[in-house]
Structure 1
């Protein structure tokens, strides 16, 4: 079978976005300056909507669980509006669609999340068994925020690892993203999955948690440690590529050791509306370029450019532009070699 397209399953979330003047000390007050219209979010949503807004025509499939409530209907309506195949979306009674209160600081664009797991916590191995498609790449995210997948499995270490093994056996190339989380779960939950992952796409903070290799000292990226971190991840089982993103740009390494760093597009602080979904926009750009068999330089250019447009909008996908506009922006800024 000639595989084509991308299926993404995992978190489907309603974001309630509030813009504040300053992050307060604990117990103090901050002023909400803007309450944005509610928007869908979560890894599966953000990646697929970003891909759909590229308007390339590649097939897209959505997988996950929402509640039979207003927020669930909002998500299902959006999937339909973008002509994404929804046959693997389950609408369930008696559960609440997952939601996040996103608090974004106006001066910096930095965001903080307060999350209710809801329906996403129910996504389990049997749900993935049903997801049969001709897609080339199967993307899952976010690990560490999908309770059933993150739970222990005696044979594979976690249910997520068992799912990824099954997807590989069906012929998919696999990709995963994780959520930025404080705590010690990175190694116990994510490491068992890596043997069955072709493309790991994550930020420098998450990579540091995986590897215990310092990648940031305050505002300074420890760029010299990126190869060491990537090599460690390959030693833990990654099959094809490690891609790490950060405000300064993107870094990629193939299993054969070929590596590349490409700086991000500069965005004036005054133009940054929010950083909500920027990592997922980067991920979507990278996945599209990987799907098309493009070079490492093009993968990072697409990813960086997609993230750049994301910064210009308050929600997680509203800044995404068609492929023609993305290409024009990249070419105008002379980043293709």
Structure 2
């Protein structure tokens, strides 16, 4: 069983499911409201655990009912929450609108995620660490300096990365929009780029080394699909799968996630998605 530490965000997802996404200044009626456990970090931790890894979550939630709910949801997914701190800020919240095709708009209120710390966390030499950019860039930079093992970063939301992060990270994972907004990633040794219905590719210093088609499915909610993809790709590469096989596996996991209404979908062990 692989050991994975996820350092990242934990949010309550408030999702309005509507016929279509609203235009700027427009109000859309007839929506249905969902309230789910979410946050890129928590989503990736839950997905990795359900895929069969031994996962611990490093993050922060508020000392409030939402924080206790998020802690319980992660524990139910099999995630070790020993390093999930309870802090004075309110638990982070994501406001989401999802249309009939599963496309979404998201606004995040970081709350407790601004106070995530790795001060009292030890990282083993053989440990895999997965982070995202819903925590502070200063913390990601500190993580890059302190991680001795394999470091993967889901560089979302897009922002300019310092050179010390670019030099240290073993795997970046972004979507095509984020890749376009972060030209510095063209010089990174390994970048996975997702293209929605067009599949995904692995790039070495900007040059494709593997690609995989998307797995056709009926989309219900795309919010957690990218996070499930991140978890699956990181684990698959660390299992020793070839770049193409790892991409195909991650695309299959993403397709399973997009067919589930939850941001933390039910998943089978990783091996069941390997082509």
User: Shared topology, TM-score over 0.5?
Assistant: yes
Structure 1, residues 149-176: CA drift from partner, whole Å, max 9, x if none?
32xxxxxxx4532331122xxx221111
> Which residue in 2 is equivalent to 1:131?
121
Q: TM-score, length-normalised on structure 1?
A: 0.75
Cα distance in structure 1, aligned partners of 2:108 and 2:128: 28
Contact 2:21 2:105 in 1 (8 A): no
> Which residue in 1 is equivalent to 2:193?
244
With over 3 angstroms needed to count, the CA separation of the structure-2 counterparts of 1:30 and 1:260, relative to structure 1, is same
Structure 1, residues 30-71: CA drift from partner, whole Å, max 9, x if none?
1243222x21111211111111112x3x32111011001111
Alignment equivalent of 1:163, drawn from 115, 139, 143: 143
Cα distance in structure 1, aligned partners of 2:253 and 2:236: 11
Alignment equivalent of 1:97, drawn from 76, 84, 91: 91
1:103: Cα distance to partner? 0.6
With over 3 angstroms needed to count, the CA separation of the structure-2 counterparts of 1:88 and 1:72, relative to structure 1, is same
Cα distance in structure 2, aligned partners of 1:21 and 1:190: 40
> Which residue in 2 is equivalent to 1:318?
265
Q: TM-score, length-normalised on structure 2?
A: 0.90
> Which residue in 1 is equivalent to 2:115?
122
> Which residue in 2 is equivalent to 1:303?
250
Contact 2:5 2:55 in 1 (8 A): yes
Contact 2:131 2:140 in 1 (8 A): no
1:287: Cα distance to partner? 1.0
Unaligned 5+ segments in structure 1 are 151-157, 212-231, 328-335
Structure 1, residues 128-167: CA drift from partner, whole Å, max 9, x if none?
23222446211111x2x32xx32xxxxxxx4532331122
Greater Rg by CA: 1
Structure 1, residues 81-119: CA drift from partner, whole Å, max 9, x if none?
233222211112x3100011111011x211011221100
1:179 matched to 2:129: no
With over 3 angstroms needed to count, the CA separation of the structure-2 counterparts of 1:4 and 1:310, relative to structure 1, is closer
Contact 2:61 2:86 in 1 (8 A): yes
Query: Secondary structure at the residue paired with 2:130?
Result: strand
1:205: Cα distance to partner? 0.6
Contact 1:17 1:315 in 2 (8 A): no
Cα distance in structure 2, aligned partners of 1:28 and 1:132: 48
Q: CA RMSD in A?
A: 2.2
Cα distance in structure 2, aligned partners of 1:256 and 1:105: 33
Cα distance in structure 1, aligned partners of 2:23 and 2:129: 42
Equivalent residues, number: 273
> Which residue in 2 is equivalent to 1:222?
none
Cα distance in structure 2, aligned partners of 1:23 and 1:275: 14
Contact 2:186 2:206 in 1 (8 A): no
Contact 2:171 2:191 in 1 (8 A): yes
With over 3 angstroms needed to count, the CA separation of the structure-2 counterparts of 1:172 and 1:289, relative to structure 1, is same
With over 3 angstroms needed to count, the CA separation of the structure-2 counterparts of 1:263 and 1:121, relative to structure 1, is same
> Which residue in 2 is equivalent to 1:217?
none
Cα distance in structure 2, aligned partners of 1:276 and 1:62: 20
With over 3 angstroms needed to count, the CA separation of the structure-2 counterparts of 1:274 and 1:113, relative to structure 1, is same
